[in-house]
């Protein structure tokens, strides 16, 4: 079931978030119809993707539930990597999984650019060969030091090494690629939760924010 869209209307020096465009400003009561282009409702892009439609990507989702249903911001997260058909390779205490379902609402970070023709062709073979290595047998799993993130980053670094590029540390990859996406997701989750409880969520903005998305 798809979640209802989140809309933003700007009026009275505030961002008014809602599910449906209101006929009047909930802050001042003025009619919004015909109030000008600046007050037109804008649909906020969702930061979440259908993971099985994201080829050759790093995926992040809650271990249980989804980001918009039941996630409290503190629960454990699980990560995986898709092949060219959206099958999600991920590592747990049961070993390597090749999931064709279960990753329908994820944060997705593309790993291969469209012009990387050689890597596009080799991706599935590289991912499968890497995943059958002894390092990813069930008994090797350790919750804090040899886990799903260890697996995904090790694969990414194996690809970088094969391309003659420098490997990335966990902190470097997280800061550069993961944190910017999780910040967007966190804001979106907050709006979703507010609009689950209320018709509107009003946030004042400063003049220098007016041109920002």
- Domains of the chain by residue range: 48-167
Q: Calculate mean pLDDT across residues 52-75.
A: 91
Q: Which residues contact 152 (CB under 8 A, 6 or more apart)?
A: 58, 79, 80, 81, 90, 91
The H or E element that residue 79 is part of is strand 77-82
Q: Calculate mean pLDDT across residues 78-84.
A: 97
- Note the pLDDT of residue 195: 94
Lowest mean pLDDT among 33-37, 172-176, 186-190: 33-37
Q: How confident is the model at residue 210 (pLDDT cuts 50, 70, 90)?
A: very low
Q: Which residues contact 4 (CB under 8 A, 6 or more apart)?
A: 19
Single out the residue of 157, 150, 58 nearest to residue 111, CA to CA: 58
Single out the residue of 44, 48, 73 nearest to residue 59, CA to CA: 48
Q: Are 192 and 17 in contact (CB under 8 A)?
A: no
- Note the pLDDT of residue 82: 98
In 19-51, which positions are buried (b, 16+ CB within 10 angstroms) versus exposed (e)?
Answer: eeebeebbeeeeebeeeeeebeeeeeebbbbeb
Q: How confident is the model at residue 35 (pLDDT cuts 50, 70, 90)?
A: low
Q: What share of the chain is helix, strand, coil (3-state, %, to 5)?
A: 35, 25, 40
Q: How confident is the model at residue 62 (pLDDT cuts 50, 70, 90)?
A: very high
């Amino acid at each position: 079931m798809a979640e209802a869209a989140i809309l933003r209307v700007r009026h009275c020096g505030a961002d008014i978030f809602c599910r449906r465009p209101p006929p009047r400003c909930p802050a001042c009561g003025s009619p919004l119809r015909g109030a000008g282009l600046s007050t037109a409702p804008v649909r906020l892009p969702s930061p979440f993707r259908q993971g099985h439609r994201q080829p050759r990507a790093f995926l992040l989702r809650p271990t249980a539930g989804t980001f918009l249903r039941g996630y409290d911001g503190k629960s454990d997260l699980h990560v995986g990597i898709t092949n060219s058909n959206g099958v999600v390779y991920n590592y747990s205490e049961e070993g390597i999984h090749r999931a064709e379902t279960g990753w329908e609402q994820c944060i997705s970070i593309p790993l291969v650019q469209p012009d990387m023709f050689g890597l596009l062709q080799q991706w599935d073979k590289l991912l499968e060969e890497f995943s059958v290595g002894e390092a990813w047998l069930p008994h090797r799993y350790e919750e804090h030091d040899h886990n799903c993130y260890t697996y995904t980053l090790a694969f990414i670094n194996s690809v970088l090494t094969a391309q003659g590029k420098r490997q990335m540390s966990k902190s470097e990859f997280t800061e550069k690629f993961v944190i910017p996406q999780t910040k967007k997701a966190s804001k979106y989750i907050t709006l979703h939760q507010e609009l689950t409880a209320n018709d509107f969520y009003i946030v004042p903005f400063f003049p220098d924010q007016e041109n920002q998305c």
